[in-house]
Amino acid sequence: YALVGYYWQKKNLTYRIVRTTPQLSPYVVHDAIRRAFNVWSDVTPLTFTEKFHGEADIMIDFLWGFHGDGNPFDGPGNTLAHAFFPGPRRGGDTHFDEEEKWTMTKEGANLFQVATHEFGHALGLGHSSEHNTIMGPFYRYRDPLQLTEDDIRGIQQLYGAPEERRPKQPLTPVATQKPNFQPNHPEHVPNTPERPPQRPPVHTPDRRPHTPNHPATPPDTCFPSIDAVAVIRSELFVFKDRHFYRYHDKGLYPGYPAMTSRFWRSLPRGTHVDAVYERYDGKIVFFKDAQYWVFDGNYLESSYPRPIRDYGLHVQSVDAAFVWGHNGKTYFFKGNRYWRYDDIEKKMDRGYPKNIDRWEGVPNNLDGIMQWTDGLTYFFKGTKYWRFNDITMRVEEGYPRSAPHDWFGCRKVLGTPNDRD
Amino acid sequence: AASILNVTNADLSKGVDYLMKFGYLKQDDRKMRTGEELREAIMTMQRFGGLDETGQLDADTLQLMQTPRCGVADIIGTAETTRRKR
């Protein structure tokens, strides 16, 4: 690793995304940036807080060509991004070349992965000559992205190892944290393995091998309907009755389903949730009847639950909630109406509720809505789901399709008279 | 230098530009640069790229120079310092 001689003399840093790229939804950009900072905060005592106004320690922008810092971008290919080493004014600032093809996949330039590298510079690391490190100068898509020993030694040379603190980001199964966990306890899910669920890897959900101790009979995921769906830390979470199902890109994590109220304690026991969404700041918000709960990871924030009228929602419950990446606003659906809420300004937008028919092709009385990591919006009701095109503002052709088959790992195509056979 | 490194003048020129841009070579007068300095710069760049350190602007090395990368210099204190002086 290489240290450049500059580092931040404080541990709590702020960042601000000045502009996002139109190639990705704002939600996806904010999520990618937040996760990239998490990679470094996981191995140091540093914290990163997003600001939405004014100056921040690390100003992040998408720019092209000559952009006033003496280090012009060169168009598509070659140079993808650069960052300034820690210091006042421009120090820490991170620029992405708008003319690259930014993605969240292995095609083009993966924003999360490039950002992780650039933030290494913004924290004081130079390029490592050690091959395969995150801080190597050449872009290479990694699946999954993980810091190497060289990267960790470098950053910890500057800031030290993480202090003992309440975990903020990881979503850890409660069972792994409870030494007195009793797998045969009646509250435990019937089809969970005989061993406590193992801790899923943080931020590396997509290459976890199935454990040999996993029971041979997989859980039934052919849901006739779901209660709520959410994308949390870029993973799919499905809520059904008292349980939730957590998916990586190859299917359900071992050890799931798990009981929702055992993972997010303080939620009402033995019941379902109405809606769940991940807020812009990474907090997870649950709705049940006329109340809502805000969690930091799986820790309840103080003073919750609160009434949903805080949101300006004068209804007894909501059907679904999600953040629409198209504009970063939070939407609530109930029956044939929907509301638009500004989570940053903390106020309901004027003129709402409106009729759901503005979302052309989307049915009433939805079960759940989520924006997937592909930047597209998906609506769920019963066994069906609809993919929505944010540009044409209508459901895409070929939808609805079978949600259990396409999303939940059910091998049957539901919707036929004998579909439960 | 092109004949020593067995490359075309165009490839040499591109290579030198790249090596200067990312800090492997000082941004001073090209005519004052020795072949040995150039070879050492290429070897250092090859090390960063995980290539065999041949010191030659071979096909793999030229290909590496086309690879998408970070815009921050690899060697801090040469090109950067020179730029500041100017």
Average pLDDT over residues A39-67: 93
Distance (Å) from the alpha carbon of B68 to chain A's nearest alpha carbon: 4
pLDDT per residue over A116-135, tens digit each?
Answer: 999 999 999 999 998 889 99
Rounded-to-integer distance, Cα A107 and Cα A246, Å: 26
A residues 109-148 closer than 8 Å to B (CB): 109, 114, 117-118, 121, 126-127, 129, 131-132, 136-139
What pLDDT sits at residue A238?
Answer: 96
Task: Compute the average pLDDT of residues B60-66.
Answer: 94
- Among A73, A80, A138, the residue to mutate for chain B (most B Cβ within 10 A): A138
**pLDDT band (50, 70, 90) for residue A201:** very low
Could you tell me if B18 lies within 8 Å of chain A, comparing CB atoms?
A: no
Rounded Cα gap, residues A162 and A395, in angstroms: 46
pLDDT digits over A204-236, tens only?
A: 323 333 333 344 456 788 999 999 999 987 789
What pLDDT, on the 0 to 100 scale, is given for residue A298? 82
Least confident interval from A87-96, A278-287, A403-412, B22-31: B22-31
d(CA A65, CA A134) in angstroms, rounded, equals 25
Average pLDDT over residues A48-74: 93
> Who's near A17: CB < 8 A, 6+ residues apart?
A29, A30, A33, A50, A60, A61
Instruction: Tell me the C-alpha distance between A273 and A312, whole Å.
Output: 20
pLDDT tops 90 at residue B34: no
DSSP class of A379: E
**For A141-186, what is each residue's pLDDT tens digit?**
998 899 999 999 999 999 999 876 544 445 554 333 322 222 223 2
Q: Distance between CA A60 and CA A100 in Å, rounded? A: 16
Beta bridge partners of residue A292, listed in sequence order: A287, A306
Size of interface A-B (CB pairs under 8 A): 66
Task: Please write down the long-range contacts of A248-254, taking CB distance under 8 Å and 24 or more positions apart.
Answer: A248/A200, A248/A205, A248/A206, A248/A208, A249/A205, A249/A206, A250/A206, A251/A409, A252/A218, A252/A219, A252/A221, A252/A409, A253/A197, A253/A200, A253/A205, A253/A208, A254/A193, A254/A197, A254/A198, A254/A208, A254/A210, A254/A211, A254/A214
Q: How confident is the model at residue B3 (pLDDT cuts 50, 70, 90)?
A: low
Measured between CA atoms, the residue of chain B closest to residue A77 is B68
Report pLDDT for B28: 66
> A78: nearest CA in chain B?
B68
Residues A192, A75 contacting (CB under 8 angstroms)? no
Q: What is the pLDDT of residue A248?
A: 79
DSSP, residue by residue, A207-248: GPPPPTTS-SS------S--SEEEEETTEEEEEETTEEEEEE
DSSP secondary-structure letter at A303?
A: T
Query: Which residue among A73, A79, A126 sits closest to B76, beta carbon to beta carbon?
Result: A126
Contact check, Cβ <8 Å, A77/B66 = yes
Which pLDDT score is estimated for A45?
94
Q: What is the mean pLDDT of chain B?
A: 81
CB contact under 8 A, A2 and B50: no
Q: Residue window 25-44, chain B: list those with CB within 8 Å of chain A.
A: 44
Per cent of chain A over pLDDT 70 is 85
In the prediction, which pLDDT does A315 show? 95
| Share of residues in chain A with pLDDT > 90 (%) | 57
Let me know: does A419 contact A411? Beta carbons within 8 Å.
no
Which helix (H) or strand (E) is A371 found in, with range?
strand A368-371
CA angle A113, A116, A121 (to 5 degrees): 135
With 70 as the cut, is the pLDDT of residue A48 above it? yes
| Mutation for B interface: A4, A96, A111, A127, most B CBs within 10 A | A127
Average confidence (pLDDT) over A85-91: 92
Question: Does residue B71 sit at the A interface (CB-CB below 8 Å)?
Answer: yes
| Structure tokens belonging to residue A135 | 């801080």
Q: Which of A135-144, A237-246, A271-280, B74-83 has the lowest mean pLDDT?
A: B74-83
- Per CB-CB distance under 8 Å, the chain B contacts of A102 are none
- Taking contacts as CB-CB distances below 8 angstroms, the residues of chain B near A136 are 48, 50
A78 touches chain B (CB under 8 A): yes
- Kindly tell me if the per-residue pLDDT of A104 is higher than 80: yes
Residues of B with CB below 8 A from A2's CB?
A: 76
Mean pLDDT, range A388-416, rounded to an integer: 82
Rounded mean pLDDT, A50-66: 93
Query: What percent of chain B lies above the pLDDT cut of 90?
Result: 50
A118, A235, A345, A360: the active-site residue: A118
The CA-atom distances, in angstroms, between A393 and each of A321, A328, A336, A361, A367 are: 18, 16, 17, 9, 20
H-helix or E-strand containing A342? strand A337-342
Residue A40, φ and ψ in degrees, nearest 5: -85, -35
What's the start-to-end Cα distance of chain B, in Å? 27
Interface test with B, best of A7, A67, A79 (most B CBs within 10 A): A79
- Position A420 confidence tier, pLDDT thresholds 50, 70, 90: very low
pLDDT-derived band at A325, boundaries 50, 70, 90: confident
State whether residue B14 is helix, strand or coil. Answer: helix
Q: Assess whether pLDDT exceeds 80 at residue B10.
A: yes
Average pLDDT over residues A102-122: 94
The CA-atom distances, in angstroms, between A388 and each of A358, A364, A405 are: 12, 15, 18
Give helix B35-49 / helix B9-21 axis angle, nearest 10°. 70
What's the confidence (pLDDT) of residue A216?
47
pLDDT range class, residue A413, cuts 50, 70, 90: low
User: Angle A149-159/A111-122 helices, nearest 10 degrees?
Assistant: 40
**Six token digits for residue A206:** 């997509």
The neighbour count for residue A312, using CB atoms within 10 Å, is: 15
Alpha helices in A241-364 (DSSP H): 260-263
For chain A, the average pLDDT equals 83
Of residues A70, A100, A121, nearest to B72 (C-beta): A121
Least CB–CB distance from A129: residue in B47, B64, B67: B47
What was the pLDDT predicted at B31?
61
Distance in Å, alpha carbon of B75 to nearest chain A alpha carbon: 8
- Does the annotation count A118 as an active-site position? yes
> CB of B47 within 8 Å of any CB in chain A?
yes
Give A47's contacts (C-beta < 8 A, 6+ positions apart): A11, A12, A13, A41, A168
Supply the ipTM of this predicted assembly: 0.86
A83 touches chain B (CB under 8 A): yes
Tokens of B28: 């001073």
Give A120 to chain B, closest Cα distance, Å: 11
- A234, A31 Cβ separation under 8 angstroms: yes
Q: Which of A125-139, A248-262, A308-322, A337-351 has the lowest mean pLDDT?
A: A248-262
Rounded average pLDDT over B44-69:
93
Q: Is pLDDT at A319 greater than 90 in this prediction? A: yes
Q: What is the pLDDT of residue B23?
A: 92
Could A137 and B48 be called an inter-chain contact, meaning their C-beta atoms sit closer than 8 Å?
yes
Q: In DSSP terms, which residues pair with A94 in a beta bridge? A: A60, A83
pLDDT of amino acid A171: 55
Report the alpha-carbon distance of residue A80 to residue A82 in Å, rounded: 7
Asked if A71 lies within 8 A of B71 by C-beta distance, the reply is: yes
Q: Tell whether B68 is within 8 A of chain A (Cβ).
A: yes
A245 and A257 in contact (C-beta within 8 Å)?
yes
